[in-house]
Amino acid sequence: MAKVDFRLVMPERELLAVDADMVVVPGSEGDFGVLPGHAPLISTVRPGVLEVFQGGKAEARFLVVGGFAEVTGTRCTVLAEEAMALADVSADQLAEREKTAERDLAEAGDDAARARGERGLSIARELRRAQAFALSRA
Amino acid sequence: MPSLKSYRLRIRSVQSTQKITKAMKMVAAAKLRRAQEQATAARPYAEAMDKILASLGQGAAGGTGPRLLAGTGADKVHLLVVATADRGLCGAFNSSIVREARRVVRALLAEGKTVKILCVGRKGRDQLRRDFASLIVDTISDLGRPRLSFGDAQKVSARVLAMFEAGEFDICSLIFNRFKSAMTQIVTRQQLIPPPPPEGEAQAPAGGAVHEFEPDEGEILADLLPRNLTVQVFRALLENAASFYGSQMTAMDNASRNAGDVIKKLTLQMNRSRQASITKELIEIISGAEAI
């Protein structure tokens, strides 16, 4: 069976490069699955859970933050600003992150800092939600 | 002729200097390897980014794209981002960057352009301040501790973007050292805003695939361009870090060798003067004995 050449890359390094049966990417307009032969697509990625399927079940799951996905018939590349294995992150860590983001927002001095704080907070919230949802399904 | 003791003291002092330079060389070598690994690890992201940009560029070609891609249309005000290191003891690393920066600034000023300088790294600021203190807008330092991260690059690019959005410059370029080998680093000037057109545009429709865009091209571009800027800065900073350690390693290697030479010379002089004094004493004894 044909496989998708999947790569998950962060600015600092390549996190994962495998041949997968299917990849589910959290696109900004909704999740989409990538199978071999997918139509070429470039999409932005929202903070959420990315799943790599091998033989019918999700073999690896990652929390990704912002970025892009490029899909061609044979390959799927996800550029994530941040990515971490779902199993490596606890709910507490994300709750902590949300609290930090809230504090940053409260302390923001100027407009630029406020915008950054708001963005950080919404990312943290989205991540928590995505994680809770992924865990409830597992 | 200096006494034996003063020779011995001088030799000892050069020896301890040599110990320091040797140790610094080892440290630089280890850090150089790490920096190179980091640069290699960062390559896939930059390459994937280039690919996406290339396929987007096909649609947005023609100068109608967002300002980050097309520029402001003017070239009156230039922003130079001069990336140096925070520390010295690295041979000509900092001075070669600064020399190029000076040359570029002079050339631009001679053409009647306005120049603004954003220094990354303390050493560049210290040297440029002598000639162009009034042109320096800001200095960003203490990057890359303990190691260079994407966040560091974001600090720089956020500053550049804020200035661009405020309309403070038209063209932005970056001066840094491209790493070739531990011995050679090439001072490079790279234009960031607007980005130079990609080379080999003729073969652009690679694979013939026309992508679908989600949400749409414009929005993706608006999201991608600032990020691409950060990636370019990140890549340059990584190259710079590798160059810095390479340069430092070479410089410290030279210093250790020089110290070795000095020690050899001093030892020779010390032995000569010792023999001279022995001979002198012998002559005194013999001529004393003969006199009796």
Q: Is B26 on the interface with A (CB under 8 A)?
A: no
For position A81, what pLDDT does the model report? Answer: 86
Q: What is the pLDDT of residue B73?
A: 77
Partners of A68 in beta bridges? A44, A79
pLDDT for A138 equals: 65
Which positions in chain B touch A12 (Cβ < 8 Å)?
38, 41-42, 45, 149-150
pTM reported for the whole predicted model: 0.85
User: Do residues B70 and B63 touch, judged by C-beta distance below 8 A?
Assistant: yes
A-chain residue closest to B147, CA distance = A12
Chain-chain contact of A44 with B149 (C-beta, under 8 angstroms): no
Kindly report the three-state secondary structure assignment for every residue of chain B.
Answer: CCCHHHHHHHHHHHHHHHHHHHHHHHHHHHHHHHHHHHHHHCHHHHHHHHHHHHHHHHHHCCCCCCHHHHCCCCCCEEEEEEECCCCCCCCCHHHHHHHHHHHHHHHHHHCCCEEEEEEECHHHHHHHHHHHCCCEEEEECCCCCCCCCHHHHHHHHHHHHHHHHCCCCCEEEEEEEEECCCCCEEEEEEEEECCCCCCCHHHCCHHHCCCEEECCHHHHHHHHHHHHHHHHHHHHHHHHHHHHHHHHHHHHHHHHHHHHHHHHHHHHHHHHHHHHHHHHHHHHHHHHHHHC
| CB proximity under 8 Å: B 53-92 to A | 55-56
> By three-state DSSP, how is residue A98 classified?
helix
Rounded average pLDDT per 10-residue block, chain B, 292 residues: 87 96 95 91 87 70 63 84 90 92 93 92 91 89 82 88 88 91 89 72 49 81 86 91 93 95 96 94 95 86
Nearest to B193 by CA among B221, B223, B228: B228
Tell me the chain A residues in contact with residue B48 when contact means C-beta distances shorter than 8 Å: 7, 9, 70, 77, 79
| A57 and B CB contact within 8 Å | no
For residue B220, the distance in angstroms to the closest alpha carbon of chain A comes to 7
Sign of CA pseudo-dihedral B151, B88, B184, B18: negative
Distance CA B71, CA B64 (A): 10
Predicted pLDDT at B155: 87
User: Which residues, numbered 66 to 85 in chain A, qualify as contacts with chain B under a Cβ-Cβ cut-off of 8 Å?
Assistant: 68, 70, 72-73, 77, 79, 81
Task: Judge whether B166 is closer than 8 Å to chain A, CB to CB.
Answer: no
Residues 209-268 of B with CB under 8 A from A: 209-215, 219-220, 223-224, 227, 230-231, 234
Residues of chain A found within 8 Å of residue B151, distances taken between Cβ atoms: none
Q: What is the DSSP letter of A3?
A: -
pLDDT at B64: 53
Interface A-B: count of C-beta contacts within 8 A: 78
CB contact under 8 A, A44 and B223: yes
Optimal mutation site among A68, A78, A110, A114, interface B, most CBs of chain B within 10 A: A68
91-120 in chain A: CB under 8 A from chain B: 112
pLDDT along chain A (138 residues), means of 10: 89 90 91 91 90 88 89 90 86 86 83 81 86 80
How many CB atoms neighbour CB B211 within 10 A?
20
Closest of A74, A110, A78 to residue A11, by C-alpha: A78
The residues of B that are catalytic are: 90
Domains of chain B, first to last: 34-200+210-250 (3.40.1380.10)
**pLDDT for residue A136:** 82
Pick from B45, B149, B214: which is nearest to A41 by CB? Answer: B214
Q: Would the CB atoms of B220 and A44 count as touching at under 8 Å? A: yes
Nearest CB among B38, B49, B55 relative to A79 is that of B49
Q: How do residues A69-87 score in pLDDT, each as one tens digit?
A: 999 889 899 999 888 888 8
Which residues in chain A have their CB less than 8 angstroms from residue B49's CB?
79
Question: Min CA distance, B38 vs chain A (Å)?
Answer: 7
